[in-house]
């Protein structure tokens, strides 16, 4: 049986745009993922982090993978792109976050669903709204949550554009 999951993608080191696009292609060919579509690419300033501007998007996948197995697949893609975790919120070549999985609540040492900070991040909410405008999170509607983080800079990336405000 297929489950619907939303995955946040971001990068701010190296060729961030190309890395995010390569990660999207990897998701499409991952065993256990039947369908993958994504929102537009956005640039955003780091939130509670340092480093260059991020390139972000959100993907919606239909998957037969259980949440932890999907997390394992996401972390394998991160490693293929040189992801290191030297400290919390370090700049990164690629970050794949399992944001939401079929509406379930889960809390394990490795995975919390829904993602515990997604409602605080414009770089997650804005592309998520493209894919699921009527999605209701426990904390409220995507519109109300976006309004609450309106001070966070996020802007759409044009084709072949460099991330500039």
Residue of 60, 72, 88, 92 with catalytic role? 92
Decide if 83 is catalytic.
Answer: yes
Residue of 45, 97, 121, 126 with catalytic role? 97
For residue 50, the model assigns a pLDDT of 78
- Which residues have CB under 8 Å from 112's CB, separation 6+? 106
Decide if 126 is catalytic.
Answer: no
- Could you tell me if residue 162 is inside a domain? no
For residue 162, the model assigns a pLDDT of 42
Report the domain count for the chain.
1
Decide if 97 is catalytic.
Answer: yes
Q: Is 48 exposed, middle or buried (0-12, 13-18, 19+ CB in 10 A)?
A: exposed
- Could you tell me if residue 165 is inside a domain? no
Q: Count CB-CB contacts under 10 A for residue 123.
A: 25
Coil/strand/helix, residue 105: coil
Q: Of 121, 115, 110, which Cα lies nearest the Cα of 54?
A: 121
Longest CA span, the chain: 42
Note the pTM of the prediction, 2 decimals: 0.93
The one-digit pLDDT tens for each residue of the chain (165 residues) are 799 999 999 999 999 999 999 999 999 999 999 999 999 999 999 988 778 999 999 999 999 999 999 999 999 999 999 887 766 766 789 999 999 999 999 999 999 999 999 999 999 999 999 999 999 999 999 999 999 999 999 999 975 444 443
CB-side exposure of 76: number of CA atoms within 13 Å?
Answer: 11
- Could you tell me if residue 48 is inside a domain? yes
CATH code at position 24: 3.30.70.560
Mode of pairing for the β-strands spanning 106-107 and 95-101: unpaired
- Which residues have CB under 8 Å from 127's CB, separation 6+? 38, 39, 40, 42, 56, 57, 58
Domain encompassing residue 64? 3-156
- Could you tell me if residue 164 is inside a domain? no
For residue 84, the model assigns a pLDDT of 75
- Could you tell me if residue 161 is inside a domain? no
For residue 86, the model assigns a pLDDT of 62
d(CA 121, CA 59): 16
């Amino acid at each position: 049986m297929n489950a619907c999951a939303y995955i946040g993608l971001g990068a701010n080191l190296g060729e961030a745009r190309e890395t995010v696009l390569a990660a999207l292609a990897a998701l499409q060919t991952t065993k256990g993922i039947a369908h993958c579509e994504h929102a537009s690419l956005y640039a955003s300033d780091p939130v509670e982090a340092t480093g260059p501007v991020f390139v972000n998007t959100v993907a919606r996948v239909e998957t037969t993978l259980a949440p932890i197995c999907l997390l394992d697949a996401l972390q394998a893609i991160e490693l293929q792109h040189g992801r290191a975790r030297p400290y919390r919120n370090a700049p990164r070549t690629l970050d794949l976050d399992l944001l939401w999985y079929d509406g379930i609540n889960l809390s394990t040492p490795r995975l919390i669903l829904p993602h515990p900070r997604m409602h605080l991040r414009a770089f997650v909410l804005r592309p998520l709204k493209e894919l699921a405008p009527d999605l209701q999170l426990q904390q409220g509607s995507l519109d109300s949550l976006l309004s609450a983080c309106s001070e966070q800079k996020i802007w759409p990336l044009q084709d072949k554009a460099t991330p500039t405000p």
